Structure 1
Amino acid sequence: MRINIAGIVVLLILNVLVDLYIARAIKQRTKRRGVLQAFYGVCGTSFVLLVLMMVMPLKGAPDDLFITFTWTLLAFVALLLPRYLFTVVDLIARIPQLFHRKRLRAVSIAGCVVAAASFVMILWGAFVTRYSMQVKEVTVEIKDLPEAFDGYRIVQISDMHVGSYGTDDSFVRKLVEKVNSLDADLIVFTGDMVNRHSDEIRPFIDALSGFSAPDGQLAILGNHDYADYFYPNDNRAKENDRARLINFYSMTAFDLVLDDYRTIYRDNDSIIVIGVENIGRKPFPVYGNLESAYPDLSDSTTKILLSHDPYNWHNDIADHADKNIALTLSGHTHAMQTRLLGWSPAALIYPEWAGLYSDKSGRSRLYVNIGTGTVGTPMRIGATPEITVLTLRRAK
């Protein structure tokens, strides 16, 4: 992980300005020295956490150190965000003073409430929501779906990022148990099993062997599964790590589909499930090739595509008449691990970031699963780990 010196300098300057503002506000509004001392303690702790993150040697760092970094980052954010939110709201409360009127005291109080709520939400997201699960039932109508597949159930999970749990496989085991209870015909995993390198999957192989569905368990790779973040400048090391990950996958219940396809039969009918390696928008890598994954993408066979990054559907499939792909299943976005009142900051980056989408013609659908794991900060605020049950229906 590269340290952006300019970004750190800007952050430090902003922090100093925000902290000076809050300290002044405390002095003006209370005579209790303990309040100001407690605030100085928060400021000092934040500075120490920032220094710790800057000095941690993350390049090639062992997993324990990397996990320590993510929790340090979480603590830093938990102390930083409330101060910023309070400052913004309190500045709004001061606007009347520009016109020689009194500060809006109720708005200032609201700033305190917002700051406290953000702190609680971060902790709740780290210790409660992160280990919760939501099952989303989605019906997808597909034109010319073979009759034998009307009512076919696909359970999709995505973005486990098992390395974020260290060696604790308890959440993954609960996930396996829950998925297996959903009466799926097929289970699919749409990429990002690990964070940085293949060895992260080792403690979870036994748990991942527990997935079971009548038509099998298919998986693809995501952008984190190529060791780009662990060996950024060593292509040979990345290739070797990818080979190890593929070997580890062979010890689990999953069948990796890498620029290839599988045929699923029901009576005399069949559908195709295509899996591609990662095809992402910069700065994310492109390893996959959809055209080489299946011989004739325009044929009339009902086709379902597993592609980690929804960009692939948005850029290469939606409203492309030569790509007859009825449904694409993706992950990647995590809803940026934050979703409040149906909105996520992911919407500022991804046109399709969670849920079911359709192209203009209505011919092709996309479902984006927000994943079960975390990367970066180990928290999920409102973006509860998702298990999706997609029921295919023949469009009338």
Structure 2
Amino acid sequence: MTITKIDLKVDKLPESFENFKIIQLSDLHLGSFWGQRSFLEELVDSCNNQKPDLVIFSGDMVNQFSDEILFIDTLFKNIKASYGKYAVLGNHDFGDYTIWKSPSEKEKNTNDIIRLMGKNDFRYLRNEHVFIRKNLDSIALVGVDNWGVKPFKQYGDLKKAMVGLPLNCFSLIISHDPTHWDEQIKKTFSSSLTFS
């Protein structure tokens, strides 16, 4: 496990959010950890030792199937963050690499990932935003479904996710695929910071 600490200096950050600590987790692919729950317990402890204000998960909780989450049960509920835990869906969370019996079976799998991680207190942002409020200040947390360069699918709708955001609002975008930044975000949208 690698923990990388980065002290970011960003323009226009509301004063109340100075020293605001965010943990980003990504690409756990839980199916790869069958029988290795101790590693994930260590991950939970490592997160909590950092005393985060906010935890974000930027996609690919599973390799393909929602039942990969079952063996952790509610282990990730033990990750504590003062201002919540948020996630977005990555390409593997959509099950694009499996032949499903029907589109509804594929959709159910994705919905089950969201439901099971909801039991762990993670809220999925699906082309939407929420405001994180601290004292009298706020920042927008914008989450989009996976958006990849073709041949990968483009489920994400950043325009929809940002509807209603004030132009001068400090925003953090969570998008699984880093190519989304070059291909769309930096060309079209004003993002204060993007996590991929």
Quickly say closer, same or farther: Cα 1:154–1:235, change in 2 above 3 A.
same
Query: Is the Cα contact below 8 Å between 1:180 and 1:211 reproduced in 2?
Result: yes
Structure 1 gap segments, 5+ residues each? 1-132, 331-396
Which secondary structure does the structure 2 equivalent of 1:317 belong to? Answer: helix
Between the aligned partners of 1:300 and 1:293, the Cα distance in structure 2 is: 16
Partners of 1:144 and 1:314 in 2: CA distance = 22
Of 300, 303, 320, 2:168 maps to: 300
- Counterpart Cα distance in 2 of 1:229 and 1:281: 16
- Following superposition, the deviation at residue 208 of structure 1 comes to 1.6
The residue number in structure 2 matching 1:18 is none
In 2: Cα distance, 1:173 partner to 1:280 partner: 31
Cα distance in 1 between the residues matched to 2:107 and 2:2 = 35
The one-letter code of the counterpart of 1:291 is: K
| Contact persistence 1:198–1:227 (CA under 8 A) | no
The CA deviation at 1:297 is 5.8
* CA-to-aligned-CA distance 1:150-180 (integer Å, 9 cap, x gap): 1111111110001011243211111011011
Instruction: State the match for 2:156 in structure 1.
Output: 288
- 1:196 matched to 2:64? The reply is yes
Identity of aligned residues (%): 35
C-alpha separation between the residues in 2 aligned to 1:315 and 1:170? 38
Asked if 1:329 is matched to 2:157, the reply is no
Give the aligned residue type for 1:308: H
Q: Which residue of 1 aligns with 2:109?
A: 241
Kept in 2, the 8 Å contact 1:259–1:277? The answer is yes
RMSD (Å) for aligned C-alpha atoms = 1.6
- Partners of 1:297 and 1:310 lie apart in 2 by 23
Q: Computing the radius of gyration over CA atoms, which structure comes out larger, 1 or 2?
A: 1
> Secondary structure at 1:225's aligned position in 2?
helix
Tell me if 1:210 matches 2:78: yes
Letter paired with 2:85: Q
**Structure 1 segment 1-396 matched on structure 2, within 5 A:** 133-231=1-99, 234-296=102-164, 299-318=167-186, 320=187, 322-330=188-196
Matched residue type, 2:193: L
Is the contact between residue 298 and residue 324 of structure 1 (CA under 8 Å) also seen in structure 2?
Answer: no
Secondary structure class of the residue paired with 1:202: helix
Secondary structure of residue in 1 paired with 2:149: coil
The structure richer in helix per residue is 1
Please state whether the residue corresponding to 1:155 is helix, strand or coil.
Answer: strand
For these two proteins, the number of residue pairs brought into alignment is 196
Structure 2 residue runs of 5 or longer lacking an equivalent are none
Offset from partner CA, 1:238-258 (integer Å, 9 cap, x none): 111112112112211211111
Runs of 4+ in structure 1 over 3 Å off: none
Q: Residue 9 of structure 2: SS of its match in structure 1?
A: strand
Three-state SS of the structure 2 residue aligned to 1:263 is: strand
* Contact 1:225–1:242 (CA under 8 A) maintained in structure 2: yes
